[in-house]
């Protein structure tokens, strides 16, 4: 919710949410809550191990990926980040001897495809050589590298040759007096054949780390979540060593066209609750779901175990971010000795798979994730989570309540995304009910006016099923047509159940 909408609400106006799914993971639309706790829904990792590994001569590791389902062609297309250690050594530590033709790029983007999103193949394409290999699946090398590549749908599908967009880091005129390092753009019709934007690089001042790009259809602008440029720590002002990369934070910049970008402003920085001052690795992926932006934030214990955990962060506007107060781990690492024991990091927005999401993640069996040890990355795995199930508000055996802010009823029906708590002997049964509450609207009349007639909590048909779109009914009536456009508070009553989201609907 935008800041001006918040101010309008605080000065008396109800909030128009239309038919957009509204998440209840923060207080954006929550007025009050009673005996509820927030929990993230953990993804279920595929126990069979990685679905894709580094098995080509040019692949010394896999460090990132983006998966897009192309409905027209019936294919899942994966663009994944790989690296070659020898080329990396020359590029960074002996740049005068680096030869793109002889060594190849240090970082590059490869292609794989799948019908089901689980079983993948790597086509070898004519016209895509790599060193002495006439064929490869390396589809983007850049001028000297294609690093931290983000691949996403173009919201404007009118140009066949620009269905896919890639944003990546590259260096032009490497080691020359006019060297330029920054973010670049490329376009493709099929995810394989890419054409670089003639204005590359579109930004100057590159940095390592992921830089997720996300389109906001409500605000009609692009968001990029990168590392900040202006830092609190100053190496020259202190004798204290930094013990690592001081840019480990998340910043945000915006653009109307992917070319004109605002200056990156800090959005998530480590605080007193975090394990150290450099633990926030930025965001490995950011996506918009319903009312909120969702980010997966890797948390690195650089000075201790070396493990990398993950946390969910969320924002209603893309600029102001929160994490759960106890900072729980979101995505479990594998058991001791497994291929993903030291790190398991979701890398791209979830891919819809029926009523579920597929989450692709990078796994590592070793504690080091340094660029020159890219081979420490074991591969890419996949996990499954029910679609839209992110962070819910849960009640136990005791009755819990949630009151939304005053909203404009935006559709003829009310659907809710809920999860029942597994029954145990002696535990009260799961129950979910909703009432449409109202207040007085005359000047200086501050009374609670109860419920709209026929829509009280006690008139709501009790619900006890897990569903992403459970239709609410009051004595069998689901029609809110007479209330469309009127203000109401939604009061939820929960017992042994959790609420993830709600939405008004006309379907």
Calpha distance 114→74 (Å, rounded)? 9
Residues paired with 34 in a beta bridge? 401
Per the structure block, which two tokens stand in for 177? 């007096």
- pTM, two decimals, is 0.94
Calpha distance 353→289 (Å, rounded)? 15
- Cβ partners under 8 Å of residue 279, min gap 6: 248, 270, 299, 300, 301, 302
Calpha distance 73→163 (Å, rounded)? 13
pLDDT value for 243 = 61
Provide the residue ranges of all domains of the chain, joining segments of one domain with +.
3-41+392-505, 44-388
Report whether 490 contacts 457 (CB < 8 A): no
SS3 of 94-150: the string is CHHHCCHHHHCCCEEEEEEEECCCCCCECCCEEEEEECCEEEECEEECCCCCCEEEE
pLDDT value for 234 = 83
CATH number of 44-388: 2.115.10.20
Calpha distance 489→471 (Å, rounded)? 18
Calpha distance 330→333 (Å, rounded)? 10
Among the listed residues 209, 146, 103, 181, the one whose alpha carbon sits nearest the alpha carbon of residue 94: 103
Among the listed residues 365, 382, 383, 332, the one whose alpha carbon sits nearest the alpha carbon of residue 120: 382
Report whether 14 contacts 407 (CB < 8 A): yes
Which DSSP state fits 93?
H
pLDDT value for 150 = 96
pLDDT value for 426 = 60
Task: Output phi, psi for 87, to 5 deg.
Answer: -60, -40
Among the listed residues 296, 453, 492, the one whose alpha carbon sits nearest the alpha carbon of residue 390: 296
Q: SS3 for 338?
A: coil
Among the listed residues 152, 74, 164, the one whose alpha carbon sits nearest the alpha carbon of residue 117: 74
Residue 156's CB is within 10 A of a number of other CB atoms, namely 9
Per the structure block, which two tokens stand in for 60? 């010394």
Calpha distance 43→81 (Å, rounded)? 23
One digit per residue, the tens of pLDDT, for the chain of length 507 reads: 566 777 889 888 999 999 999 999 999 999 999 999 999 999 999 888 899 999 999 998 888 899 999 999 999 999 999 988 888 888 878 888 888 888 888 899 999 999 999 999 999 999 999 988 999 999 999 998 999 999 999 999 999 999 999 999 998 887 778 888 899 999 999 999 999 999 999 998 877 788 999 999 999 999 999 999 898 888 888 887 666 667 789 999 999 999 999 999 999 999 999 888 878 888 999 999 999 999 999 998 866 677 899 999 999 999 999 999 999 999 999 999 899 998 999 999 999 999 999 999 999 887 655 544 455 567 999 999 999 999 999 999 999 999 999 999 999 999 999 999 876 666 778 899 999 999 998 888 889 899 999 999 999 999 988 888 899 999 999 999 999 999 999 999 999 999 999 999 998
Among the listed residues 363, 225, 245, 237, the one whose alpha carbon sits nearest the alpha carbon of residue 293: 225
The fold of the 3-41+392-505 domain, in CATH, is: Jelly Rolls (2.60.120)
Calpha distance 401→387 (Å, rounded)? 24
Q: SS3 for 376?
A: helix
Which DSSP state fits 334?
P
Kind plus residue range of the DSSP H or E element containing 417:
strand 413-420
Report whether 228 contacts 200 (CB < 8 A): no
Calpha distance 314→424 (Å, rounded)? 32
201: cis peptide before it, omega within 30°? yes
């Amino acid at each position: 919710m935008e800041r001006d909408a918040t101010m309008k609400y605080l000065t008396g106006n109800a909030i128009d949410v239309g038919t957009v799914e509204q998440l209840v993971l923060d207080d954006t639309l929550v007025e009050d809550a009673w005996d509820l706790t927030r929990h993230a829904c953990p993804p279920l990792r595929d126990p069979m191990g990685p679905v894709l590994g580094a098995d080509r001569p040019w692949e010394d590791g896999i460090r990132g990926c983006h998966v897009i389902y192309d409905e027209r062609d019936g294919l899942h297309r994966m663009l994944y980040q790989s690296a070659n250690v020898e080329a990396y050594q020359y590029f960074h530590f002996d740049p005068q001897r680096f030869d793109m033709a002889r060594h190849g790029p240090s970082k590059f983007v490869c292609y794989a495809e799948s019908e089901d999103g689980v079983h993948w193949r790597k086509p070898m394409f004519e016209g895509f050589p790599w060193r002495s290999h006439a064929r490869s699946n390396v589809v983007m090398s850049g001028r000297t590298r294609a690093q931290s590549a983000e691949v996403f749908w173009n919201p404007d599908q009118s140009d066949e040759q620009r269905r896919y967009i890639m944003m990546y880091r590259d260096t032009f005129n490497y080691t020359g007096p006019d060297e330029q390092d920054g973010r670049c753009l490329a376009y493709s019709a099929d995810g394989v054949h890419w054409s670089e934007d003639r204005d590359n690089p579109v930004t100057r001042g590159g940095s390592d780390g992921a830089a997720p790009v996300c389109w906001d259809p409500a605000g009609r602008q692009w968001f990029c979540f990168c590392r900040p440029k202006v830092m609190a720590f100053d190496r020259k002002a202190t004798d204290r060593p930094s013990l690592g990369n001081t840019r480990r934070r998340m910043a945000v910049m915006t653009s109307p066209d992917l070319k004109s970008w605002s200056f990156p402003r800090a959005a998530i920085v480590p605080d007193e609750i975090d394990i150290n001052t450099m633990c926030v690795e930025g965001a490995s992926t950011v996506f918009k779901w319903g009312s909120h932006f969702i980010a997966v934030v890797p948390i690195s214990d650089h000075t201790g175990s070396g493990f990398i955990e993950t946390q969910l962060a969320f924002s209603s506007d893309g600029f102001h971010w929160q994490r759960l107060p106890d900072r729980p781990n979101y995505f479990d690492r594998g058991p001791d000795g497994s291929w993903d024991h030291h790190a398991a990091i979701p890398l791209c927005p979830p891919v819809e798979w029926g009523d579920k999401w597929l989450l692709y993640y990078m796994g590592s069996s070793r504690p080091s994730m340094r660029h020159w040890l890219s081979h420490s990355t074991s591969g890419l795995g996949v996990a499954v989570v029910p679609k839209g199930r992110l962070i819910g508000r849960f009640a136990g055996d005791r009755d819990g309540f949630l009151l939304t802010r005053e909203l404009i009823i935006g559709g003829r029906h009310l659907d809710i995304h809920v999860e029942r708590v597994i029954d145990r002997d002696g535990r009260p049964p799961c129950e979910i009910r909703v009432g449409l509450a109202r207040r007085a609207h005359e000047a200086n009349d501050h009374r609670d006016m109860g419920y709209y007639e026929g829509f009280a909590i006690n008139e709501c048909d009790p619900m006890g099923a897990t569903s992403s779109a459970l239709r609410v009914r009051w004595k069998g009536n689901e029609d809110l047509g007479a209330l469309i456009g009127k203000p109401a508070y939604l009061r939820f009553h929960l017992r042994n159940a959790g609420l993830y989201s709600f939405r008004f609907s006309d379907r």
